[in-house]
Amino acid sequence: MRHIYFNIEGHSTSGVATFCNRVAEGANDSFIVSLNCTSEKPRFSNELLIEPSLSHNPKAIVKSLLEYLRQNGGVAGDWVLFPNVGDDCYASSLLLKQNLLRGEVSSVAIVGICHSDDENQYKVMQHYSEYLDSVLAVSSCIQKKLYSLLGVAFAERIFRLSYPVPHLELSSKPQSSTASPTLIYLGRLVREQKRIERLPVLVEELLRRKFDFRLLVVGDGKEREFVKSEFKRLTENWGWEDFQLLGFLNQTGVYDALAKSDISLLFSEYEGTPISVLEAISVGVHPVVMNMDCLCDGLAKESSEIVTQGDLIGMAQAIIDLWKDREKFQLSRLKGRERVLKEHSTANCILHLKTASLAALAHSREKVVSIPSRLGYFDGKIERLLSDIGLVGDSIVVFGAGMFGRKVVDRLVSMGRVPVAILDSDSLKWNTEYRGIEILEPKSLLDKPVKTLVVASDSFVEEILASLKEHYSVAELELPKLLFLPPDSE
């Protein structure tokens, strides 16, 4: 049995990427296909990199993958394909299955994975359900939701998946805590999902209560400058300088930071499996997290402080109360670590994958599958978005350089309507290119002869619109024609 994991985020630090990479390290005869990858060097001997310009083209992806497989052991055997989130991964899996079954391969199964309690993921899963042979859910709550969404036919083919915690073997037993705690935020510096803007508010609340602590911030993202400016403000207003903004760290650096920490923070609105928090628990760091509809099974009440979503005053109080009862604090750290060591080992994860794979192969149809004529879930939204693009002028700018944005650009280029620029709020993407088109900061829009602005985002649309209106109001210019992704009801 041979596995292929499709990772939509290239060499990112997302949980999906961590899952793919960790499993491939521990499983035999497994391959990773990393889409949207800007790196030129694979991180593993069994990894195929697909550059961004080809990552929305399933035919190009499958062509490259088949050539790669023939050079690395051939295509014989039973295959299990894992499309990890997104139309491009699913469409590539379907096309690869079709190509493999035309040859000497007898059985190819497709296993979907629902990585987070996210409406888009559920909708994609429903959209492709007739082509899936089994499904994995990263928490028992998500598993129950999938039972409801996918119906009786899937009841015996939905399985739990415990994410493997990277480098678990490096974990050490919790040490005795010092007089004042070290808090750590480990994750992407973004507002979407992670709600990083809550961190400085929490810090200010703790300072207001005269609580003594240190803070480490590990991670990077498009709100990096916002975080820096907020901490500069906190220093000026409170005279507090006991923090370090460490940026992105490799795995060794992450564990060095965790070894110095006592309490980890999670502000997210939703998660599947917050790898960073499980890493923290594995070395005896106690999590204080916002409650979510589908809270990760690893964040048990006996080993985590769980506060009401958005309640930063309650979160500050939970941290203070936790630190007061040092005996309870130490006991809960040990319980959390034991739970993660037991449930989130690589061996346990691979066992879950094997169970789902065997069920999928037993269910899979041994005939050439038809590529669905209908559009993918995201592709359908993009087609509706661009349905009247032929009626507008040639000066088109796309706002958003993420998956949606790149797919919109691909579609516009195929229509002969090449955008004059791509805008994005993420400063890490500024002054780079996609398909030869510059990616610029939003205020650069004022310098472009724009007739139509395509907002290629399905989140924070109101904030994007408010920002655009502000830029144009200051410059005393009229907003161009705006196109937005349509709602699902259309």
Residues 146 and 334: beta-carbon distance below 8 Å? no
Q: What is the CATH number of the domain that holds 381?
A: 3.40.50.720
pLDDT of residue 171: 45
Residues 84 and 8: beta-carbon distance below 8 Å? yes
- The answer to which of 131-135, 163-167, 204-208 has the lowest mean pLDDT is 163-167
- Please give the radius of gyration of the chain, using alpha carbons only, rounded to the nearest integer: 23
Please give the residue that has the higher pLDDT: either 472 or 209. Answer: 209
Q: Distance between CA atoms of 417 and 413, rounded to whole angstroms?
A: 5
In a domain, 15, yes or no: yes
Enclosing H/E stretch for 158? strand 158-160
pLDDT of residue 43: 72
Task: State pLDDT tens for residues 156-193.
Answer: 889 988 877 765 444 444 555 568 999 999 988 988 88
Residues 6+ apart with CB under 8 A from 469: 479
Task: State pLDDT tens for residues 209-228.
Answer: 999 999 999 988 888 889 99
Cα 321 to the center of its chain, rounded Å: 32
For residue 314, is pLDDT > 70? yes
pLDDT of residue 170: 45
Same structural domain for residues 27 and 92? yes
Residues 220 and 251: beta-carbon distance below 8 Å? no
Q: Which of 363, 392, 415 is the last residue of a domain?
A: 363
Q: Distance between CA atoms of 36 and 12, rounded to whole angstroms?
A: 10
Same structural domain for residues 131 and 206? no
In a domain, 274, yes or no: yes
Q: Distance between CA atoms of 478 and 433, rounded to whole angstroms?
A: 27
Strands in 396-399's sheet, in edge-to-edge order, are 432-434, 437-440, 421-423, 396-399, 452-455, 481-484
490 band by pLDDT with thresholds 50, 70 and 90: very low
Same structural domain for residues 351 and 420? no
Please give the residue that has the higher pLDDT: either 198 or 252. Answer: 198
Q: Distance between CA atoms of 86 and 288, rounded to whole angstroms?
A: 31
pLDDT of residue 272: 67
Give the Å distances, CA to CA, from 109 to 18, 83, 131, 138, 364.
23, 11, 9, 20, 5
Both tokens of 48, joined, read: 């195929």
Q: Please give the backbone phi and psi of residue 40, each rounded to the nearest 5 degrees, phi first.
A: -95, -10
pLDDT of residue 152: 81
Q: Distance between CA atoms of 389 and 397, rounded to whole angstroms?
A: 12
User: 52-81 burial string, b = 16+ CB within 10 Å, else e?
Assistant: bbbbbbbeebbebbeeebeeeeebeebbbb
pLDDT > 70 fraction of the chain, expressed in percent and rounded: 85
Say if strands 481-484 and 214-218 run parallel, antiparallel, or are unpaired: unpaired
Q: What is the pTM of this model?
A: 0.73
Average pLDDT, the chain: 81
Task: State pLDDT tens for residues 120-130.
Answer: 788 888 888 88
Count of helix runs (H) and strand runs (E) in the chain:
15, 19
Task: To the nearest 10°, report the CA torsion of 410, 416, 420, 424.
Answer: -20
Residues 215 and 326: beta-carbon distance below 8 Å? no
For residue 258, is pLDDT > 80? yes
Q: Which of 314, 333, 363 is the last residue of a domain?
A: 363
In a domain, 84, yes or no: yes
Q: What is the CATH number of the domain that holds 141?
A: 3.40.50.2000
Same structural domain for residues 84 and 195? no
For residue 418, is pLDDT > 80? yes
pLDDT of residue 302: 66
Q: Which of 335, 363, 391 is the last residue of a domain?
A: 363
75 band by pLDDT with thresholds 50, 70 and 90: confident
Same structural domain for residues 313 and 382? no
pLDDT of residue 262: 92
Residues 6+ apart with CB under 8 A from 106: 78, 366
For residue 488, is pLDDT > 70? no
Please give the residue that has the higher pLDDT: either 108 or 9. Answer: 108
Q: Distance between CA atoms of 310 and 352, rounded to whole angstroms?
A: 34
Same structural domain for residues 315 and 389? no
Same structural domain for residues 135 and 213? no
Residues 190 and 221: beta-carbon distance below 8 Å? yes
> What is the rounded end-to-end Cα distance, in angstroms, of the chain?
42
Same structural domain for residues 95 and 213? no
230 band by pLDDT with thresholds 50, 70 and 90: very high
Residues 266 and 290: beta-carbon distance below 8 Å? yes
In a domain, 422, yes or no: yes
Residues 6+ apart with CB under 8 A from 379: 87, 407
Same structural domain for residues 209 and 318? yes
pLDDT of residue 400: 85
Same structural domain for residues 233 and 183? yes
In a domain, 370, yes or no: no
Strands in 263-266's sheet, in edge-to-edge order, are 243-247, 214-218, 182-186, 263-266, 286-290, 305-307
DSSP codes of every residue in 13-56: -SHHHHHHHHHHHHSTTEEEEE-S---SS-SSTTEEE--GGGTT
Q: Which range marks the domain in which residue 475 is found? A: 377-484
pLDDT of residue 399: 87
Please give the residue that has the higher pLDDT: either 89 or 480. Answer: 89
Same structural domain for residues 422 and 384? yes
For the chain, the domain total comes to 3
pLDDT of residue 141: 83
Q: Distance between CA atoms of 404 and 391, rounded to whole angstroms?
A: 22
Query: Among candidates 159, 3, 160, 163, which has minimal Cα distance to 81?
Result: 3
DSSP helix/strand/coil, 298: coil
DSSP helix/strand/coil, 390: helix
Question: Residue 345 gets which letter from DSSP?
Answer: -
In a domain, 242, yes or no: yes
Both tokens of 84, joined, read: 């990890």
In a domain, 463, yes or no: yes
In a domain, 490, yes or no: no
Same structural domain for residues 338 and 350? no
- The answer to which of 83-97, 107-121, 269-283, 323-337 has the lowest mean pLDDT is 269-283
